[in-house]
Amino acid sequence: MYTVIGSTKSRAFRVMWMLEEMGEDYIQIDAGPRSDEAKKYNPSGKIPALLDGDEVLTDSVAIMTYLADKHGKLTAPAGTIARAKQDAVTFWLIDEFDAILWAAAKHSFVFPEDKRVPEIKDSLKAEFIRAADLLTERLEGPYLLGDQMTHADILAVHCINWSIGAGFPRINDKLGAWAKTMRERDAFKAAQAKVAG
């Protein structure tokens, strides 16, 4: 049994969706970013964290990678060419999707008001749309890496959903339709419907 620390409307959702896909039991503690509850597990107050026994793991992508390797699901095995390609897509998504969205969030509500430069958001939006088009070019199979779903798919779809919530421009139709199909998965819906506690 795992415990996910973090609210559903945060990067914690990636870990919850992953656990649902793998059929693993978990409870969720609905802690917001920088909340006292979050700081109990990660002094920086960042969410998500995952409790596995007495261990506290942090960073959504590190947690997904750990869970995938541990259970041998939603990943190519470590040390294979397939895994190197999967990791390349994962790290690309961190650079070109997550970091762009995070920068926009910082300049919207994370930074103190006097440190925000809202003008930067137009260029971040353009960059995100360009990255979405590049990602679409490599989307040939049902999943980013082909026939097998991996946690890179979870990361990509979470970022696409985040972009919608953040009021970013609409992504191209092909990627939008793909994300919609992924949102229709039972595991996605179960994670969304999860009641914390």
Q: Give the number of residues in contact with ligand GSH, rule: CB under 6 A.
A: 11
Residue type at 58?
A: T
Q: Is 47 in the site for ligand GSH (CB under 6 A)?
A: yes
Shorter beta-carbon distance to ligand GSH: residue 82 or 105: 105
Shorter beta-carbon distance to ligand GSH: residue 61 or 187: 61
Contact predicate 191/23, CB 8 Å: no
Phi, psi torsion values for 42, nearest 5 degrees: -140, 110
Contact predicate 64/15, CB 8 Å: yes
Residues 6+ apart with CB under 8 A from 138: 89, 144
Q: Residue from 18, 29, 57, 61 that binds ligand GSH (CB under 6 A)?
A: 61
Report the distance separating Cα 121 and Cα 167, nearest Å.
Answer: 11
Q: Is 50 in the site for ligand GSH (CB under 6 A)?
A: no
Region binding ligand GSH by CB under 6 A among candidate stretches 17-25, 42-50, 127-135, 176-184: 42-50
Residues 6+ apart with CB under 8 A from 194: 8, 16, 20, 28
Q: How many CA atoms lie within 13 A of 1 on its CB side?
A: 2
Shorter beta-carbon distance to ligand GSH: residue 10 or 28: 10
Q: Residue from 3, 8, 24, 33 that binds ligand GSH (CB under 6 A)?
A: 33
Q: Residue from 46, 121, 151, 194 that binds ligand GSH (CB under 6 A)?
A: 46
Positions touching ligand GSH (CB under 6 A) are 10-11, 33-34, 45-48, 59-61
